[in-house]
Structure formats: C-alpha cells, structure tokens
C-alpha cells in the first residue's frame, strides 16, 4: 500500500516529467520556427535578386542560363532544409525517448520491488505463482527491449534513405543544370 507521501512524490515526479517533455516539445517547435523564418528571409532576398537578374536578361539564351544556374542551388537548399527539419525532429524525439526510457526503467524497478515484497510476504506454496509473475515481467521487459531495438533500426534505415534520396536529388539537379547549360551554349 502506498503512503500519501509516496503518492504525492509520484504525482510531483510525473508533473515534472510532463513539464519537462512539454518544454522539449516547445524547444523543437521553436527551432522549426527559427529555421522557417531563416528560410523565408533568405528566399525573399534571393527572389529579389532573381527578379532583378530576370529583368536584365536580353535574350532567351540568357534566360535559360539564368534558370539553369538557379536549378542546382534550389535542389541543394531544399535538401539542406529537409535535413535540418529531420535533425530537429530527431533531436526532439531523442529527448522524449530518453525521458520515456528513464520513466520506464524507474517504473520497472518499482514494480519489481512490489513483486519482491509480495513474494516475501506470500503464503507458503505460492512460489510457483511468484515465479510465474517474475517470468511474465521479464518477458514483458524483453519484449519492450526488442520493440525499442526495432524502432531504432527503423529510424536508422529511414535516416539512411533520406540521406540517399537527398543526395540523389541534388545530383539529378546538378546533372540537369549541366545538360541545360550545354544545350543553351
């Protein structure tokens, strides 16, 4: 049976965890807003430069050259933006996962303590039931670890795929820009 002090301490710890996670989520959103503001400001400046350059174009060949020169940097910037968004999301997720794992480990310790206390106070002849409960808890812990490892592997594969896709898009844009320059010449 939990004492009122233990219950109060548990509620206080849960509130601290909740506010800590909320702060981490807001930090992630704040980083995304900063990134988007930076991208918008840069895009606005580049749009002004491009408009000015387009107004000074004298023939179709110069226009094609201007468009071609913009193609690769746009792809690279889009790839960099995607990577920044992914990094922010991954960092925020890692913080939340760290807290969740800590809470889970603490809950597992407390539960095992309750099971051990119950086992010590169990009537004679209930050793099999206690062993069954301990075995079930161990199996649940192993299942949690397996799911965690699978999720980590899936995240690693997703990151590798994102990197490969980004590199492919940038290379394709570079190749297209090179071909367009040759065609314009």
Task: Identify the pLDDT of residue 181.
Answer: 66
Query: Residue 88's pLDDT is what?
Result: 94
Two tokens, residue 149? 């490892």
* pLDDT, mean of each 10-residue run, the chain (185 residues): 79 88 92 96 92 89 83 83 91 87 80 76 77 81 80 80 76 71 66
Instruction: Please give the residue range of the domain that contains residue 102.
Output: 4-184
Question: 60-120 and 4-55 helices cross at what angle (nearest 10)?
Answer: 170
Q: Which of 138, 27, 1 is nearest to 91 (CA)?
A: 27
SS3 of 174, please? helix
Rounded to 5°, angle at Cα 69 from 65 and 70:
120
For residue 120, what pLDDT is reported?
78
The total of other beta-carbon atoms located within 10 Å of residue 92's CB is 19
pLDDT at residue 185, as a whole number: 61
Number of domains in the chain: 1
- Positive or negative, the CA dihedral 126, 131, 134, 136 is negative
């Amino acid at each position: 049976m939990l004492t009122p002090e233990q219950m109060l301490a548990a509620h206080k710890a849960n509130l601290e965890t909740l506010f800590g996670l909320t702060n981490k989520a807001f930090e992630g959103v704040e980083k995304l807003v900063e990134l988007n503001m930076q991208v918008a400001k840069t895009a606005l400046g580049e749009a002004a430069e491009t408009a000015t350059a387009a107004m000074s174009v004298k023939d179709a060949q110069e226009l094609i050259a201007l468009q071609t020169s913009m193609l690769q940097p746009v792809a690279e910037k889009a790839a960099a933006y995607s990577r920044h968004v992914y990094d922010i999301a991954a960092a925020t997720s890692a913080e939340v996962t760290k807290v969740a794992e800590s809470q889970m480990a603490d809950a597992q310790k407390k539960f095992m303590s309750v099971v051990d206390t119950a086992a010590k106070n169990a009537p004679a002849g209930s050793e099999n039931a206690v062993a069954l409960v301990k075995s079930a808890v161990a199996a649940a812990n192993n299942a949690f670890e397996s799911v965690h490892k699978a999720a980590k592997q899936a995240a690693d594969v997703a990151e590798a795929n994102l990197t490969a896709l980004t590199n492919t898009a940038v290379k394709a844009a570079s190749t297209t820009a090179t071909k367009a320059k040759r065609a314009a010449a």
